[in-house]
Structures are given as structure tokens and as C-alpha cells.
Structure 1
Amino acid sequence: MTELFRDDVPPAALPPKVIETWERRVGVHRSNIQAEPIRLTGPDGMRHFGQHVEVQTDDPGSFDALMFARQLSMIGTFCSLHTPLQLSRNPRLIEQQPSEDLVIGVHTLEGRHIIRQGSRDFAYGPGQLAFVSNASPYLERTFEINDPAGLVIPLELLGNQRRVAEQARRPVASHTLLARATASFILQFASDTAVGVTEPDPDTEMAAIELVRAALGQLDYDNRQITDNALFVREAVSDLIERHHRDPSFTPNAIARYLHISRRQLYRHFEDTEDSLAARIADRRLKTACELLRTRPDMAVSEVARVSGFPSSPTMRNRFRAELGIGPSEYRARAAAEADAVEDWGSPTS
């Protein structure tokens, strides 16, 4: 192992709490096939961790990983949780185990994550798209526990973006709507399919491939083509709501302006969904308000309404009654009572 990737902190087995959080995030409890992750530990687990790559760690005996993986009709999906490791795809492996696939992934946990392609080292953070071609050498190193989820796409399906996929380059700029939408979609789609929550049809797989192609060709991709992609629009809308719902002036009209499309074109992408865009924004504001009411007893209800993005306290009160059947003050009182009951139950008796 090179000095560049030396880590002075020895890896440890996956803590149960981290596993529980990961399984909840990837939707194990929602699986329709009662899927169980593959558990890979020690030197033998390292040998079986990934296809077409070599795995190294500073302490093979402490290696620990959980993985869901699934082959769909055109692409593969995976989600995993693992202790620190180094993956490499070298010229010898490329010759002995040819693979014409693009691996594109996203992780959510904080920590150092470096990929070396050619003579360059790229650092990747949570939520950034990382893609490597198995047709070229690379080295990937994570220094802390990591939770990648992603797709394995045959290079031949990328069309004129294959050349871009094979280049050594940084992830797509993480501040763009397209990058965030693609990363958000891949994280959810890979987890749902690998775990068995959903059974995608070929059209959905092709839409996922098109979204990846758009991300690869971001610098010169025609924006009109991007906004014709329903997956992109829906993920972009979710991202915009997440970031702007606290602004009382944020409305579906604002979303259309952000995406540079008409309101009619925007609504067309949500015709087959249950909730309207206005309802989605209101529901996100309600979620923020509930969190503040539970965690900030010092904050006045009127301030909670303002910080959550509701235009007024009565508007928030009406939303609470419509969705939860109680007002915000009663919600806060019940939440406090439940918290006290849990605390009392957990206290030792004399």
C-alpha cells in the first residue's frame, strides 16, 4: 500500500448502531422479498467483496462489510456498508478479467474518500457523483466507514458519452441541479432495487441510463433535453423543495423559474402522482415545523411558522389540523409528554 493512502487509525468492525441506521436508510424493512445483506468479513470477505477489483486494508482481520447487489435486465445495482478499504483495478486485472462497465456511485457518510485515476487524485464528498470505468486502471481509498450505493452500466449503453465516462476527471460539479438530481436518484434507485423494494421495468432502467448520460455530458448537454427527462425534473424538484421550503415566497412558480421551464411543462411531469407540487412544499414545511416543535421548546409557535416557511401562523395551524388532526401547540405538548414518558421509563428505580 502506498504512503499516500496510509491510515494511522486501524479499522474496526461495523458498529451495530451504524448497521441499524444504514439498513433503515436503504429500506430493508420495506423489502418485498425479505432480503438479507451479504456479510463479508476478514481476508475471505475481502476476496469476495467486489468483481474485477482487488481489495486491501491495513488490518485484513478487521475487515467487515454488508452488501446488497442485484442484476437487472440492463444494468446492475448495489448498496453496501464497509470498514475502511482500498480498491484497485490494475493493468493485470484488466487483462485477466476484462470488464466494459462504468461504475457510478454516491455515498452519504462523512469521511475521506479518494480516487486515483491516471496520475491524478480526486477527493469525493457525501452526495457527489463518483464514476470509474473498469476498462481503465484506478485506485479508490476510503479512510472511514463508508456507505456507497450505485449503478453498474455497460459502457456500450452510454452512446456518445462513453468517451467522457472513460476519462479521468473530477465528479460532476456538486452544486448543479443536474448533479444533485442524479446523485439523489441513484442513491434511492440503487437502494430500492438492490434491496428489493421495487421491481423496475426496462423503461425505468433506460431512464436511469439517460440521466447518467446527461450528468456525464453536463458541460455541453442541451438543457432542453435535460428538462424533458421526467426523472431529472422530479429529483430536481425534490432537491429544490428541500433547500428552499423555508422561504415563504417559494411556490411551484418559483420551481418552474429555477428549471427554466413553463409551469405547464413542470406540472406535466407530475400528472401521474398523488400529491400536487403545492402539497409537497406544504408537507415539507410541516415536517420542519414538527421537528422544531419537538426540539425547540423555547421557540414561539409564530416563530416556528416563520422559520418553517409558512406565510403565517394560521396557515401553519390549518395545515396541522388538516394533516394531523391537532394544532401545533397540542402537537408540542403531546411530543413533550411522550419524551418525558420515555425518559421516566428508562430511569433506574430506587
Structure 2
Amino acid sequence: MNAPRYGLDPAVIEHWHRVNGPDGGLGPNRSRLARSGGRGGTAPYAEFVILEAENPDDFEQLLYWRPLSKIVAYSLLQTAVRTRRTSDQIRDHPSDFLIVAVQTLGGTTGRANGHEFRSGPGRLTITDSRLPYDLTTHGVSDSAGIWVPTEVLGGDIAAGATVPPTVPDTPLTRSCASLVSCLARDVAVGGADVDLDTELAAIEVVRAVLDQSEEPDRRPGDDPDVLRAVIVDLVDRNFRDPAFGATTLARHLHVSKRQLYRNLEELDMSLSEMLNERRLELARTLLAGPERVRLEGIARSAGFPSVATLRNRFRARYGVTPDDYRRVAEEDDVPEDRHVGSEA
């Protein structure tokens, strides 16, 4: 099949295919190759990231990818491009993965995980998809890697703790880089059979690399967009816990309560208002549902310490009691948020 010619040199594509190995060369599993180019080539990614090609008419990307039980493996080749993930995209299209990758062509600079990002051939990098990033590849570049769910990487990371995008250059890091790039190509391109034990072993190596620093960076850095995204993410994950508050949030962020309140003030955010809104939104959803959950169950599910607290805050916010709201919902005439009742 004669594919359209864009910005990738055919000799570079041929070399990339040789490095990756033949499609399905290691197993029967289907290798998925997506090829895009030109000004419309960046459109498929618009919801998740913003791609800005250095030369839009010549933009070209070749991508192999394959999801497994726990991880997703990929290998890509592309012309120079700037890739951004914004706070709005994180809110609207959440993604709880660390992208662990290695390049062999070109270089990448920018900012990720709240830190400066600089990568070159052979260097292992980690990008947190829960946080904003802004990365630019220089010249034709490739990348092979795995997407690892944060929930399998330990309590701190699952709860929102951040890691630097580049890790110390040690024998363990280099071994992990080799493992990640080979596994990604064998799985995404070669169609190799991989069992769950192999996936978990790879995850363990990644976890070991993250833990090897003498003083691992678990703070979200000084970038206000990153800090805001981390706080919102932690609130979204934990608001159902009535005990979650400033003390718990400060512990997750590895800061004092005083520093937390200072940060919230600088970001023009109120933790109590955020928690109250999340809990009330869930309570409204449950009240309008067909299951007719008892108020005790709704209060417990939404993170309120008691039914009385649920009643008081619901009435203060919407101007009606939870019981009255449920009656309206059962009549299939649920008003919009701002018209449920007079807000206090």
C-alpha cells in the first residue's frame, strides 16, 4: 500500500521498522499500527492532548500500541511536535498513568510533573498523565514505552505523589530503560505473548527505579497549575471519606498544614468548599437515582459524617431538603442546579 508522503524520510521509517522488528514477528497477537499526517494528523489526540507540529503540512506519526491486562505498550516515530496536556483536559479526560519511555532518536525538552524535562537517546523518562505537561521534540524522534497505572505503583504515587520526569542514571535505571524499550517493541510490534506475571515483574522494576533516590521528590513542585491539578485530583479521590481534610491532604502533599493553607490561598481555592461541593453533587445524584437509597446510606456514601450534616448542608446549598428534592426527582422534573431552590 502506498501511504501518503509527509515529513518522515523513507530511510528513517525503514530503519525504525528494522529496530522494532517485523509486525507479529514474535507472536500471533495483533499489532496495531496507526499512521497519521498532515494538518489533520493531530486531530485524533485533541481531547487528551494538544499537538502542535513544527511544520503542520509535513507532520507525520507512526504508532504501534497494544493494551495488556495492566499496562499499555507502544512504539512511535514522529516529526518535530509540541505536546501539551492542560488542566482542563485533565479535568475533562482524567488519566491515571505514568508513561515510562525511552528515546533512541532526537531529543525532548519542556516541563512535566512540575519539573524541567530534558531527554536524549537512551534516557529513561517518566511523565505523569495526571498533571499538566508541555513537551517539545526536536527533529525526528521516536519513543518506546509503557503506560503503567498509578494504582499499582504504591500508596504514595496512587494518592497523587509526584516523581521527577528523569531519574538518576544508575545501573538499575539503565536496566529498566532496556527492559521497557524491549518489552514495548516486543509487545506492541512483535505481537509477543505476555502473561500477567511478566507485566507485574516489569511494574516492580519501574517501582524500584522510582524508589531508588535517596531523597525522592514527592512534592508537586512550584508550578501552580501542577499543584492545583494535584489538589483537585486528591479531593476527587478522597472526598467520600468523612475524615479527609486539611491534615490528610497536607500529608499527601508532604507539606505542613500552614504551608497547605498558604498554597490554597495563593491558588484562590477553599478546601472545605471543594469537599462540600463534591459531596453534595454525589448526594444529589443518589437522591435522583431509581434505587431510593436511605438518607443514612447517602450520607455515608457521599462523605458526610451524619444525616443531620447532609440535611443542613443540602438545604443551605439548594434551598430544599433532601427529602423534598427526592420527591421532585421522582416526578421526573428535577430542576437545574441553580433553580433547585434559593441558595443561602
Q: Which residue of 2 aligns with 1:238?
A: none
Q: Give the paired residue count.
A: 208
Structure-2 separation of matches of 1:36 and 1:94: 26
Q: Which residue of 2 aligns with 1:195?
A: 189
Structure-2 separation of matches of 1:193 and 1:50: 26
Structure-1 separation of matches of 2:145 and 2:132: 19
Higher mean C-alpha deviation, range 117-126 or range 67-76: 117-126
Unaligned ranges ≥5, structure 2: 1-5, 216-344
Residue 190 of structure 1, CA deviation: 0.4
| Counterpart check, 1:28 vs 2:22 | yes
Which of 80, 85, 105 does residue 84 from structure 1 map onto?
80
1:210-229 matched pairs, under 5 angstroms: 210-220=204-214
Higher mean C-alpha deviation, range 181-190 or range 12-21: 12-21
Percent sequence identity is: 34
Considering fraction of residues, name the structure with more helix. Answer: 1
Residue 99 of structure 1, CA deviation: 1.0
Structure-2 separation of matches of 1:197 and 1:20: 19
Instruction: Give runs of ≥4 in structure 1 deviating > 6 Å.
Output: none
Structure-1 separation of matches of 2:39 and 2:66: 23
Structure-2 separation of matches of 1:84 and 1:218: 33
| Counterpart check, 1:52 vs 2:48 | yes
Which of 79, 88, 99 does residue 103 from structure 1 map onto?
99
Greater RCO (CA < 8 Å, at least 6 residues apart): 2
Which of 70, 75, 82 does residue 71 from structure 2 map onto?
75
TM-score computed with the length of structure 1 as normaliser = 0.55
Matched letter for residue 162 of structure 1: I
Does the 8 A contact of 1:136 with 1:166 survive in 2? no
Structure-2 separation of matches of 1:51 and 1:182: 31
Task: Provide closer, same or farther for how the CA distance between residues 201 and 161 of structure 1 changes in structure 2, counting only shifts above 3 A.
Answer: farther
Once superposed, what is the RMSD of the aligned Cα atoms?
A: 2.3
Matched letter for residue 20 of structure 1: E
Does the 8 A contact of 2:31 with 2:66 survive in 1? no
Task: Provide closer, same or farther for how the CA distance between residues 164 and 115 of structure 1 changes in structure 2, counting only shifts above 3 A.
Answer: farther
Residue 188 of structure 1, CA deviation: 0.2
Does the 8 A contact of 1:27 with 1:197 survive in 2? no
Structure-2 separation of matches of 1:35 and 1:219: 36
Alignment deviations for residues 19-63 of structure 1 (CA, whole Å, 9 cap, x no partner): 111111111252534746211112322122587211111321111
Which of 167, 172, 177 does residue 162 from structure 2 map onto?
167
Task: Provide closer, same or farther for how the CA distance between residues 114 and 164 of structure 1 changes in structure 2, counting only shifts above 3 A.
Answer: farther
1:261-340 matched pairs, under 5 angstroms: none
Q: Which residue of 2 aligns with 1:40?
A: 36
Matched letter for residue 116 of structure 1: R
Task: Provide closer, same or farther for how the CA distance between residues 118 and 182 of structure 1 changes in structure 2, counting only shifts above 3 A.
Answer: closer
Matched letter for residue 171 of structure 2: L
Task: Provide closer, same or farther for how the CA distance between residues 108 and 166 of structure 1 changes in structure 2, counting only shifts above 3 A.
Answer: farther
Alignment deviations for residues 132-178 of structure 1 (CA, whole Å, 9 cap, x no partner): 1111111111011111010111110101451798525241122x110
> SS at the partner of 2:141?
coil
> SS at the partner of 1:23?
helix
Matched letter for residue 107 of structure 2: R
Q: Which residue of 1 aligns with 2:90?
A: 94
> SS at the partner of 2:193?
coil
Which of 60, 63, 66 does residue 59 from structure 2 map onto?
63
Q: Which residue of 1 aligns with 2:149?
A: 154
Alignment deviations for residues 184-227 of structure 1 (CA, whole Å, 9 cap, x no partner): 00000001100134110000000010010011111249xxxxxx
